[in-house]
Structure 1
């Protein structure tokens, strides 16, 4: 009987030691899991921001590639205009009459000049409206402290009620400026703030 009591006491001591070890290990893994989940949330947010920057940069590269391609298209369009004017001149039986037909392109020249002036006028009026990049850059330069993309979007919407400014587009624009070194990004907890390069605060 004494041996059985001793054996049970040894088993109980071993079980209690294993239980304590198991509890400590469970608490350690739970702590590590919470830290990993927080790191995963931060990584997912950074991933979304980087995807937005990549889309913005790809869109700008495609726009830059399409703009030069539109210039030479206007030159071939002018060539067929002169061909019908020369064709009737060749049919006229008189020897020197085609010269009168050759004067037609001269009359068309002022129209081209007017069209060119109209294009310049239209370009000038379109150029007067600032782009979103210019608005965001001006806001960062004039700001006294870092602000979030939502705060910047709200301020720009109030200043320009005629324009539809979305927070997602503002965030992508800010990330594009950060990628170019024209803006700085800082983090306070899980929030992201942006500022101009010369206005970095101690929190950044």
Structure 2
């Protein structure tokens, strides 16, 4: 009876440990997918912003693509020098008319549109900001330190510690960053960055509480 109870207890412990590990992997996978979705949404927003800026600049410059016009049947079969010269003259006259210099008032409006279009700069994505920050550091940084630095440099972005940690784990999974541990504290850096110096117990407790 005792052996049966012991075997049942061991089996229950094994299933409990397996379920716990599966839950942890599931949560990490959800965070990774969420980070990728966030990054893709930021990239899409950046591309849409660039498209709007380029479209405004195109309109401001007065660039309008001309539709392709197939030659008429009689023009395609003409082979005499006189017909070819007449066609070239007609094309040159139409090109001069299209590229004629605008009036002074018309020239001022495109200039204003160009200045307005070029005044807005494209913001980098969170992944690019984290990569740049890690590359500028001489030693690994914790999630709290990275989040505080990025939030101070970009207060309008509303950067959260959870999103930064998820993005960092995604970079580690892709081999674009490395993760090290000092006690219960976790540090991130670019590959081949020297190991961090041991942190004090207070710093380690703070890092664990924030994570």
Bin of the TM-score, shorter chain as denominator length: 0.5 to 0.7
Deviations 1:116-147 (A, max 9, x none): 23433x13xx46x7764454234323152352
After TM superposition, give the deviation of residue 32 of structure 1 in Å. 0.4
Unaligned runs of 5+ in 1: 1-18, 81-102
TM-score scaled by length of structure 1? 0.54
Distance 2:20 2:182 in 1: 14
Distance 1:196 1:69 in 2: 32
Of 144, 148, 154, 1:154 maps to: 148
- In the alignment, is the contact (CA less than 8 A) between 1:144 and 1:199 conserved in 2? yes
Distance 2:59 2:154 in 1: 41
Give the structure with the larger helix fraction: 1
Of 177, 190, 196, 2:190 maps to: 196
Of 33, 36, 42, 1:54 maps to: 36
In structure 2, the CA distance between the partners of 1:41 and 1:195, relative to structure 1 (3 Å rule), is farther
In the alignment of these two chains, the number of paired residues is: 157
Let me know the Cα RMSD of the aligned residues: 4.1
Distance 2:148 2:189 in 1: 16
Find the structure with the greater CA-based Rg. 1
TM-score scaled by length of structure 2? 0.53
Distance 1:49 1:140 in 2: 21
User: What SS does structure 1 have at the residue aligned with 2:102?
Assistant: helix
Unaligned runs of 5+ in 2: 65-99, 197-211
